[in-house]
Amino acid sequence: MANGEYAEAIPLLREIVAVNPDMANASVNLAISYRKNGQTEKAYETIMAVVEKHPDHAVALNQLGIIQRQRGNFDAALAAYERAITLDVDYALAHRNLGILYDIYLQIPDRALAHYEKYLVLSDADNKEVSNWIIDLERRIAAAQKRNNQ
């Protein structure tokens, strides 16, 4: 997985999960590998099994949100991301993904901005991509406010 070889990781992870079915992290990695390999339905089935066994697993909920977003189930994605953040308020990737959902799919720029900013604070990396998204959102919000004030 670390090398982006998701197809190769799938059989190994399936073997680990078969031997250790309660190992949530291995199942989450299997779901990620399926998703990255374009097998969205298998990813969904796998991550749902994890969430059913481990409903407080923030990483699994974040992955569920990603998969639900890809499937076009935006309300379910929103619920999964929000639950992940409720469980771990400092989970940077869940904030980033929630920002993407609010920005691109739900068209709620002020909420997107808050989550992108939270992501930057929580992540140690200097993320130019998210910084640019923030600049773009600030411009769009300012333009919308200007239109509303005319």
My answer on whether 56 and 98 are in the same domain is: no
The closest alpha carbon to 133, from 148, 120, 149, belongs to: 120
State phi, psi for 57 to the nearest 5 degrees.
-90, 100
Question: Which tens digits make up the pLDDT trace of 41-73?
Answer: 999 999 999 999 999 999 999 999 999 999 999
User: Which pTM value belongs to this model?
Assistant: 0.92
DSSP code of 86?
Answer: H
Q: Give the residue from 88, 104, 133 where a domain finishes.
A: 88
**80 lies in the same domain as 99:** no
Residue 134 near residue 116, CB atoms below 8 Å: yes
Domain range for 120 is: 89-150
CA distance 143 to 71: 31
Residues 91-135 have pLDDT tens digits of 999 999 999 999 999 999 999 999 999 999 999 767 899 999 999
The alpha carbon dihedral of 68, 86, 142, 130 has a sign of negative
Residue at which a domain ends, from 66, 88, 110 = 88
Each residue of 3-46: pLDDT tens digit?
999 999 999 999 999 999 999 999 999 999 999 999 999 999 99
Domain match, 10 and 24 both: yes
